[in-house]
Amino acid sequence: MIQIDLEAERKEILNRYKRLIKACKRRLEKGDKETIRKAFEVSVEAHKEMRRKSGEPYIYHPIAVAQICAEEIGLGSVGIVCALLHDTVEDTDLTLEDIKGLFGEKVAQIIDGLTKISGVIDNTSSLQAENFRKVLLTLSEDVRVILIKLADRLHNMRTLEHMKRDKQMKIASETLFLYAPLAHRLGLNTIKTELEDLGLKYTDAEAYNDIAEKLRESEPERKKFIQKFIEPLKEILTEQGFKFKLFGRPKSIFSIYNKIKQKKVSFEEIYDLFAIRIVIDTPLEKEKSDCWKVYSIITDFYHPSPERLRDWISTPKSNGYESLHTTVMGPQGKWVEVQIRTSRMDDLAENGYAAHWKYKDSASEKESNLENWLIKIREMLENPDPNALEFIDDFKLNLFSDEMFVFTPKGDMKTLPVKSTALDFAFEIHTKVGEHCIGAKVNHKLVPLSHELKSGDQVEILTSKKQNPKEDWLNYVITAKAKSKIKNSLKEQRKKIAEEGKEVIKRKFERHKLEFNNKTINDFCNYLKLPSSQELYYRVALGNVDVSEIKAFIKYKESPNKKPVKAETHKIEELVTHARGKSDMLVIGDDMQKLDYKLAPCCNPIPGDDVFGFITVGEGIKIHRVNCPNAIKLLSNYAYRVVKAKWTNDELISFLAGIKIAGSDVIGMVNEITKVISSEHNVNMRSINFDTDDGLFEGTVMVYVHDTKHLNHLISNLKKINGVNKVERIDEER
C-alpha cells in the first residue's frame, strides 16, 4: 500500500492555486480574486475524495485546466471560475442550481454547456458522431464552452501516459479528428500544434519518435544556419530604427509528418523544417506599411519566390490570422520561409480570439468574423442531417481548409475554402440562389456549376425558377453549407415523390382487395426487404414496384407454410461471441480470444504491424493498422466498435505486401532487384512492374512476407542497391 502524504499534497494544491492567480493577475478586476478563491474552495471540497488514474488528487486537473485557460488561452475570471468547476456537476453531488446560487446565471450556463457535452467528450469515453451536435449547439451559445473544453482536452493529452493503450488510441484519434481542427478554427495556433503533436505521439509513436530524434540531431546545424541567415537582417533593421524580435521556429512534428506522407519524401528531403519569424513593435496605424517595409528589406538581401508570397494582412484569414509570408533563397542555396507580423498580430496568431480582450479597438472585425462563423454553425444546425457522421465530415471539411477570396458583381468579398466551385458560391450568397442555380459567369465568361473558383475571381450566378437540386450536385460542392442544403432539398423532393407513390399504391391495394393499413404496408416492406414505408412509396412513384410484386406478395401471404421474412440484423455482441475462428494468427478483445477476422484492404496489415479490430455490420471483424488512413475516423466515431487485436507468432504464414522502388535507370537494375528479393529467405514474388522515363525508373513489387520485421529487412537490403533512391511500403494492393 502506497503511503500518501496528505500534508504535502495540501501544500502542493495551494502552490498550484497561487501559480494560477499569478497567471491571471493582469486581467482581474475588483472582486474577481475572491470569486476565483470561492470557486477553488468549492472545487477542492467537491473533489476531495477523488483521484486521477496517475494516483494524484483529482483537483490537480481542474487547476491545470484553469491555468491553461488563464495562461495559454487568455480567458478572464468567468472562464477561470468555470474551468475550476467544469467537472463538479458531472462528477460530484453539486447541482446546477447550487452553481447558479453561488456564482450566478452566466457561470451556470457555461457549466451546463460543459456538462451536456461531458460524457460525450471526456478523458475516458470516445466522441460519438451522434452527440457531436451537442458540442456545436453549446459552442454557438458561448465560445467559452469550447475554449474550456479545449483546455480540458489539452491537459488530458498531456497526462495520457497513465491511460491504457486502447484508451490512448481513442482519445488521441478523437483529438486529431476534431479538437485540433477546432483549435485551428478558433485561431489557437499554439494549442492546435501541441494537440496535433501529442495526438501523433500516441497514434504513431514510431514516426513521432523518429522525427523528434532527427530534429534533435539536426538542431545545432539548424541553429548555425538560422544565425547566418538573420545576422545581416538584424543589422539593417536596427539601422532603420525598427523595434523587433527575430527568431527561427522549427515546424511542428505533426506538420513534418504530414509533409513526409503527402509528398512521399524522407525527413532529409524536407527543406522548410523551420520558419524565420520577424515580429515588429509598431503602432496600429503603421502596421501594414511597416510590414511591407520589412518585406522590402528582406527581399533586397535574399531572392524571393514570387509564387510563395502570402498576404494575410490586407485580407486576414477568417480565424483572425494576420501575417505576411514569403519564401526566399537563403545561404547554401536553401529556401527559407519568412513570416513578418506585428506584436499584436503575433499574439492573435498564437492565442486566437481569446487574445482580443487586449486589442479592443481592432477586435471588432475579428469578432464579427467569429460571429459569422457561429452563424454558419447555427444555420447548419437548423437542418440536422439524420446521418450525424456525414454531418461531421461536412463540417470538419471547412475547419482546416485554406481560404480564398472571391467577389460578387457589386464587388462584395466572400471568403470560401480553396477548391470551392461556382455552386458553393451560389449557396454562400443564399440558399434559394443555390437551389435555382443553372450556371455562372466567372470574370464575365460562362462556366458550369462544377467550375472550380480561384482567389480574386468575380462571380455572377445565373438562376432559373424551374431549376432544382440534383443528386450529382453533391459531387460539385465542398462547403458544409452547400452539402447540407442540397441534401435537405433532395430529401424534400423525395418526400413529395413518395406522397405521389403513396396514392398510387393505395389504389393498387384496393384493386387487389388488400387493406391499406400500417400492418400490411410493413409486411410488404419486409417482403421486399425495404427499410421503410417512405422508401416503398418512393419506388412505387418511380415505377420500380409493380403489380407482379403485389400479386406475389398476396400468394406469399396465403401460403400456409410461409416463413416470416426478416431483414438480416447482426448484433455486435453476437459477432464477437459467435465468430469463433479457425485462425491462430490474431487474438482479439480484452480477453484476447481467437476470433474470425478479415484484413482491411485499405491498409493491408501484416503480422508485426500495430493493429486494432473493428466490428463491421455484416462482414465480421476487420483488422486495420493503427496508422491506417481511416483509423482516426473509425476510432473517433465508432469507438464502441473497436476491439484490441494482437498478433501471435504460432506459425509462419505468408502475407502479401507491396513495395515501391524508385531510382536511376541503370543497366541490369531489374535483375539486381529480383536477385536481392529472391536471395531473401522465404520471400516469394507475386508480381513486378517497372516504368522508365528520362533516365529514372519507378516500379512496384508485390511480395509474400511473414511479418513487418521480415518486410523491413527486405526494404533495407533493397535500399543498398546502387542507383536505388527510394524504397517504401505501399498500403494497398495495386
The residues that are catalytic are 90-91
CA distance 186 to 154: 15
Reduce the DSSP state of residue 566 to 3 states and report it: coil
Give the torsion sign (CA, 557, 563, 569, 573): positive
CA distance 437 to 467: 7
Angle between helices 205-239 and 253-263 (to 10 degrees): 110
Cα–Cα nearest to 686, from 668, 700, 707, 669: 700
Cα–Cα nearest to 506, from 497, 498, 516: 516
CB atoms within 10 A of CB 68: 23
Residues 6 or more apart whose CB falls under 8 angstroms from that of 250 comprise 215, 222, 273, 274
CA distance 501 to 521: 13
CA distance 14 to 63: 10
CA distance 352 to 422: 31
Grid cell listed for 338 = 519568412
Cα–Cα nearest to 62, from 123, 108, 113, 117: 123
Q: Look at the chain and count its residues.
A: 734
Sequential DSSP letters for 196-217: HHHHHHHH-HHHHHHHHHHHHH
The label of the residue with cell 513534418 reads: 256
**Cα(first)–Cα(last) distance of the chain, in Å?**
57
CA angle in degrees (0–180, nearest 5) for 486-491-497: 125
